[in-house]
Amino acid sequence: MSARGGGGGPFPPSIPLLILRIGRRVFSMSGPFILVSPGATRGLGLALTRQYLRSTSLPVYTTHRLESEAHARIKDHIMEPLKDVDPSRLHLLKIDLRSEDSISGASKALQESLAKHGDEKKAYIRTAFIAGGILFPEKSPADLDWDHIKETFQTNVISHLLMIKHFSPFLPARKQYKGEPAKWVHVGARVGSVADNHRGGWYSYRASKAALNQVVKTFDIHLKLHTNNAICVGVHPGTVKTDLSKGYWGSEERSESFTPDDAAGNLVKLVEGLEDHQRGRVWDWAGEEVPP
Ligand X SMILES: NC(=O)c1ccc[n+]([C@@H]2O[C@H](COP(=O)([O-])OP(=O)(O)OC[C@H]3O[C@@H](n4cnc5c(N)ncnc54)[C@H](OP(=O)(O)O)[C@@H]3O)[C@@H](O)[C@H]2O)c1
Q: Which chain residues interact with ligand X by CB under 6 A?
A: 38, 41-45, 65, 95-98, 131-134, 155, 187, 189, 236-237, 239-240, 242-245
Q: Which residue lies nearer to ligand X by CB, 108 or 174?
A: 108
Secondary structure in 3-state letters for 208-232: HHHHHHHHHHHHHHHHHHCCECEEE
Q: State the minimum distance, in angstroms, from the CB of residue 218 to ligand X.
A: 18
Q: Which residue lies nearer to ligand X by CB, 181 or 234?
A: 234
Cα(192)–Cα(119) distance, integer angstroms: 40
Q: Which residue lies nearer to ligand X by CB, 96 or 220?
A: 96
Q: State the minimum distance, in angstroms, from the CB of residue 219 to ligand X.
A: 16
Query: In angstroms, what CA-CA distances link 102 with 66, 96, 147, 166?
Result: 12, 6, 20, 10
Q: State the minimum distance, in angstroms, from the CB of residue 150 to ligand X.
A: 12
Q: State the minimum distance, in angstroms, from the CB of residue 212 to ligand X.
A: 8
In angstroms, how far is CA 35 from the centroid of its own chain? Answer: 7
Q: State the minimum distance, in angstroms, from the CB of residue 145 to ligand X.
A: 17
Q: Which residue lies nearer to ligand X by CB, 94 or 122?
A: 94
Query: In angstroms, what CA-CA distances link 204 with 130, 140, 235?
Result: 19, 11, 19
Q: Could you give the 3-state DSSP secondary structure of residue 153?
A: helix
Q: Which residue lies nearer to ligand X by CB, 84 or 243?
A: 243
Cβ(205)–Cβ(137) below 8 Å:
yes
